[in-house]
Amino acid sequence: MCNTNSNVHHEDKEAHDLEHKKWNRRSFLQAMGMAGTGSMMLGSNVLNASAKSPLATAIADAESDGKILILIRLAGGNDGLSTVIPIEQYDTYANARPNIYIPESKVLKLTDNFGVPSYMTSLERMWGEGQFKAVHGVGYEGQSLSHFTGSDIFANTDPENTTGFSGERTGWMGRHFENCYPDYLMDPPEAPAAIQIGQYGSLVFQGEETNYAFVTSNINQLEKIAETGDNFALDPALFDGCMYDDQLRFLRGVANTTYEYSGKIHEAYKRGEALACGIEYQDNSFAKQLAVLAKLIKGNLGTKVYMISMGGFDTHGNQPLAHEKLMTNLSVAISDFYKDLACTDQDDKVLSMTFSEFGRRIYENGSNGTDHGKASPTLFFGSALNGSAFVGDHPSLEDPDGRGNLEYTMDFRDLYGTVLAEWLCVPRNLVEQHLLGRTYVPVNLGFSCSGEDFPDIAIDNEDPVLPGPGGTDPTDPTDPEPLPENVIVHKPYYPTKGNPSIHLEMPFTAHVDIQIYNILGQNLGTVYNAMTTEGQQEINIRERLPVNLATGKYIYRISVQNQKMSKSVMVS
């Protein structure tokens, strides 16, 4: 039955307008560019503008199998019922949306029960080749309908974060990289751990110490860096007649050398260009993002995780035309991207997945649109899926909540956990740390690394899903060993103002060396160097250091056996 109660729409409008005032204010600050967000730094660590810093030394790649993950943010709240159409509930769907439903004649039926709009026909080839899965009803208990808070929760995996900024301030991938690179502040990886295009959702890669992503405000900025190796042009002719040409040239040079990874990205881009396969991407922002990523991947940059985005999904009005354009662009670009990778046999190494801060309601509103809702499908792409399918239980349209919201049937953290454990081969105990202690339920998406059995779950597909390749053999001695259960805990604390100490917890007796550096990577001296027994102790930095430290930020580095770990510490 169609929802004819217009009060639902009007009740939400005031709250929605207020939300957008906050959202736009934050978006403006984030979109100011590199200088406004700290992206002119390697994470949050300032780099030298003259000589190459010691911070640029490489560490071994923790994941050597070449797997890559692409996170695709559908910003604004994607309407799941215009993405995956439940044919088995079609009458209920159409009655709820008399002006905006997609006619059956324009539904591309992929199975007897589910289809996609015919304007997403580019995915039909991928479906036939086993490269497309859609997971139904993704969300969480008590889902936030705020752009702000919803985005943070999908990044930080903290559904208790009901007040936005007071919630968890690290992201699921940030916690993953923090474990991969415990000495990141002193010894970052040779290639960016992650690359993020667009400032939204920046919590995804945020760790306790730094953001692990190389961030550009938009695709044009990344494309310029990839093509030239610099962010700002330094041609002397550009500065002729400028009163402050020397100063301006210097400041631009600082910006360029601060982007420590620009040269690596440029080199990989050029290698990837040489492997062009004649794919002509469409002329829109989303297609351009994937086109650049294809070159970087072909050029073996070494980055493991990318995040790209497509905006415009906040479809309160005139949804049919807006959503058709968005999903047409997405499906065409994704299809072209995997064709591009296939010609160099890299398509089976790249997994892509969508996410959005929330879904939309079952019922249309009075503006030929839909308002903020709850559950929405997550789409997966890539040859690694080993078969196409609709996964899980589609939410019932007959029993929405009091505001017309679809209730979730799949916790988003189960998908994150599956991707970490079965795609990136992270041990379960670490996966659950990255999910803030939650025990996740693995989902059979067609790939496997852990060797765990997958619980039974609804799978809807025309042909049997091909079994996954088994992933990494846990008995193979060449596989990387899981990290030990007992790790060395260390953190700065401040027993008195301006007198920082290091809290150290040792799970075994070993020789411990602690050095301190300024943010340019210059060694300032030894804080501690001794055989240390199992247990806890507090190490006062000022008392043990032979030189006085000025007020500012420093980095201490702990060496124990073959492990190196670093964190920042403030001295005031």
Rounded-to-integer distance, Cα 377 and Cα 371, Å:
16
Residue 408 inside a domain? The answer is yes
Do 508 and 415 belong to one domain?
A: no
Do 100 and 190 belong to one domain?
A: yes
The predicted structure's pLDDT at residue 570:
85
Could you give phi then psi for residue 512, rounded to 5 degrees?
A: -120, 130
Name residue, tokens 């997550």: 378
Do 158 and 292 belong to one domain?
A: yes
Residue 524 inside a domain? The answer is yes
Identify whether the C-beta of residue 264 lies closer than 8 Å to the C-beta of residue 191: yes
Rounded-to-integer distance, Cα 435 and Cα 412, Å:
11
β pairing state of 489-496 and 459-460: unpaired
Residue 476 inside a domain? The answer is no
Among 420, 440, 460, identify where a domain stops. 460
Torsion sign across C-alpha atoms 255, 257, 258, 263 = positive
Going edge to edge, which strands form the sheet with 563-571?
A: 523-532, 510-518, 552-560, 563-571
What are the CA-CA distances from residue 369 to residues 82, 119, 148, 319, 406 (Å)? 11, 18, 21, 5, 16
Residue 3 inside a domain? The answer is no
Do 381 and 528 belong to one domain?
A: no
Do 304 and 366 belong to one domain?
A: yes
Residue 254 inside a domain? The answer is yes
Rounded-to-integer distance, Cα 431 and Cα 177, Å:
12
Identify whether the C-beta of residue 232 lies closer than 8 Å to the C-beta of residue 274: no
The predicted structure's pLDDT at residue 248:
52
Do 537 and 438 belong to one domain?
A: no
Do 520 and 431 belong to one domain?
A: no
Rounded-to-integer distance, Cα 566 and Cα 452, Å:
34
Domain at 409, CATH number: 3.40.720
The pLDDT tens digits for 429-474 are: 999 999 999 999 999 999 999 988 999 899 988 754 444 444 444 3
Could you give phi then psi for residue 387, rounded to 5 degrees?
A: 135, 140
Residue 15 inside a domain? The answer is no
Do 198 and 304 belong to one domain?
A: yes
Residues of the chain predicted below pLDDT 50: 1-8, 22-64, 162-164, 239, 253-254, 256-258, 464-485
Do 432 and 512 belong to one domain?
A: no
Do 406 and 554 belong to one domain?
A: no
The predicted structure's pLDDT at residue 240:
57
Do 182 and 114 belong to one domain?
A: yes
DSSP string, 402-465: TTSPPPPSEEHHHHHHHIIIIIS---HHHHHHHTTT--------S--SS-PPPPP--EE-SSPP
Considering its fold, how many domains does the chain have in total? 2
Rounded-to-integer distance, Cα 440 and Cα 443, Å:
9
Q: pTM of the full predicted structure?
A: 0.81
Residue 57 inside a domain? The answer is no
Which one, of 153, 200, 194, 195, lies nearest residue 416 by Cα? 153
The predicted structure's pLDDT at residue 514:
93
Among 421, 439, 460, identify where a domain stops. 460
The predicted structure's pLDDT at residue 166:
52
The predicted structure's pLDDT at residue 84:
98
Domain at 538, CATH number: 2.60.40.3080
Residues of the domain holding 343 = 68-460
Do 202 and 114 belong to one domain?
A: yes
Residue 466 inside a domain? The answer is no
Q: Which stretch of DSSP H or E encloses residue 254?
A: helix 245-258
